[in-house]
Amino acid sequence: MITKRRWAARVCILLAALGAGLVPVGAVAGEPTAKEAPKVELVLDVSGSMRARDIDGQSRMAAAKQAFNEVLDAVPDEVQLGIRTLGADYPGNDRKRGCKDTRQLYPVGPLDRTEAKTAVATLAPTGWTPIGPALLGAAEDLEGGDATRRIVLITDGEDTCAPLDPCEVARDIAAKGIHLVIDTLGLVPDAKTRQQLTCIAEATGGTYTTVEHTDELSGRVRQLVDRAADPVVTPVATEGGRQCAGAPQLKAGLFSDRASFGQHRWYRVDVLPGQELRASVTVSADRAVNNDYGVMLRAVTVHGREIVRGSEAGHGRTDAISTGLRYPKAPQDGIDFDPDEDDAEAAEAEAAAETVCLEVSNSFAAPPSVKRAPGMPVELTVDLVDAPDEASDVASFGLGRGWWLLGLLALAGLLAGLVWGWISRWRIAVWRTN
């Protein structure tokens, strides 16, 4: 006989089963949610000035089309890509109409490479350069969702539709907090164009690149599209000190700062016994700089003694320059870092931590016409990992176990020299006897 209590239990089980069936699979606790596909919109200048034939013997428009075809072939499958034009349709002199001449050539979404290439092939240099309106349109094209969003602006001239200043437009976009980055590429730009495009990029944390060859254009655009597909780690803004004392205390992570030409910036990191500090720095040349430059990252004790350094130098045009260093701190007797240890042992390990001062310096210089403020973007990565075992550690001077081979070769050379010397003396003695 079925009691009322059993009937109630069965009804509850039935309702629970029905409820579970109505819950979407993706809502199950602990199951990862699907990541939104990154969105990229390429904004191409199709104004009349794109007729100029100064890129590898062909017109700027032809170079842009060739680069676009190469880029479209290489777009990662997970990226949703769109194309917007500016100055592609109105050839007249009516400023009001010319400054509205921007449209979406290919919608942001899964890429049909053939269709996108066909759309680009129809373009011909035509009208004005409404950069500001084009950026506003591109921001609207990328609206919605939490995906990574990137605008890549390719133009050969400054905006012709002021007072809608494209730099102010970029600042307004950045102020919305929608994490939309604008990268700019200038095709054989003059000083005013370079300055405006640099300002647009800086406003949203993007990059500016001068382009004078077709392969530079396709390579840079491919790099930016690929970057949109990479996992995004938002750097933590910090401000380095003028000296180690009073410098910001950093944990493991990615940090952003700005440094003027030739400036030194200081940061502090605590390294526990048994840990290894790994740090790297990248300084971006987001404006015109002189040909010779370098960057250095030093690890220094609080008393000023240098522990280790990394440096890199270059010559010619660059977008960024990087260097890094490693510093293992040996375990102390009875004290070692263990994330699972109890509070007392953890406190003892922290008390034995060494404060390492990181100094970032650069030797960039620029002509007097280049603005100094804000400083150039600096990206600092700090990682703290378990120090390698002594048996597997890399020996001094970077040769590691290669010292054994070097010693063996030196010994073999010494023995060969002795044998050859003995043979030579024997031959001379025999010759004199005869």
Q: Map out the domains of the chain as residue ranges.
A: 39-229, 236-386
Q: What is the pLDDT of residue 418?
A: 80
Percent of the chain exceeding pLDDT 90 equals 49
* Mean confidence (pLDDT) of the chain: 82
Distances (CA, A) of 166 to 57, 137, 199, 200, 202: 30, 12, 9, 7, 12
More confident residue, 224 or 399: 224
More confident residue, 386 or 299: 299
Closest-CA residue to 36 (of 181, 127, 144, 184): 144
> How does residue 237 score in pLDDT terms, banded at 50, 70 and 90?
confident
C-alpha 403/C-alpha 77 separation (Å) is 47
Q: What is the pLDDT of residue 12?
A: 44
Burial tier of 344 (Cβ tally within 10 Å: 0-12, 13-18, 19+): exposed
Any bridge partners for residue 83, and if so which?
Answer: 42, 106
C-alpha 324/C-alpha 311 separation (Å) is 7
The phi, psi pair for 75, rounded to 5°, reads: -65, 125
Structure pTM?
0.54
Among the ranges given (93-97, 126-130, 234-238, 379-383), the one the predictor scored with the smallest mean pLDDT: 234-238
Is pLDDT at 398 greater than 50 in this prediction? no
Is pLDDT at 177 greater than 80 in this prediction? no
> How does residue 413 score in pLDDT terms, banded at 50, 70 and 90?
confident
Count how many Cα atoms sit within 13 Å of the Cα of residue 14 in the half-sphere of its side chain. Answer: 6
Q: What is the pLDDT of residue 25?
A: 41
More confident residue, 147 or 17: 147
Q: What is the pLDDT of residue 99?
A: 93
Task: Tell me which fold the domain 39-229 belongs to.
Answer: Rossmann fold (3.40.50)
Q: What is the pLDDT of residue 363?
A: 94
C-alpha 185/C-alpha 152 separation (Å) is 8
Is pLDDT at 67 greater than 70 in this prediction? yes
Among the ranges given (12-21, 54-63, 252-261, 348-357), the one the predictor scored with the smallest mean pLDDT: 12-21
310-369 pLDDT, tens digit per residue, is 999 988 777 788 899 999 988 876 555 555 555 555 555 566 789 999 999 999 999 888
Percent of the chain exceeding pLDDT 70 equals 81
> How does residue 94 score in pLDDT terms, banded at 50, 70 and 90?
very high
> How does residue 412 score in pLDDT terms, banded at 50, 70 and 90?
confident
Q: What is the pLDDT of residue 232?
A: 59
More confident residue, 142 or 27: 142
Question: Is 359 in contact with 181 (CB distance < 8 Å)?
Answer: no
What 3-state class would DSSP assign to 90? coil
Question: What is the amino acid identity at position 231?
Answer: P
- The average pLDDT across 145-155 equals 90
Q: What is the pLDDT of residue 83?
A: 97
Is pLDDT at 203 greater than 70 in this prediction? yes
Q: What is the pLDDT of residue 118?
A: 96
The phi, psi pair for 300, rounded to 5°, reads: -130, 145
Any bridge partners for residue 102, and if so which?
Answer: 86
Q: What is the pLDDT of residue 42?
A: 97
Q: What is the pLDDT of residue 342?
A: 54
Question: Is 139 in contact with 182 (CB distance < 8 Å)?
Answer: no
Among the ranges given (98-107, 111-120, 189-198), the one the predictor scored with the smallest mean pLDDT: 189-198
CATH number given to 236-386: 2.60.120.380
Query: 44-78 burial, b if ≥16 CB within 10 A, otherwise e?
Result: bbbbbbbeeeebeeeebbbbbbbbbeebbeebbee
Q: What is the pLDDT of residue 405?
A: 61
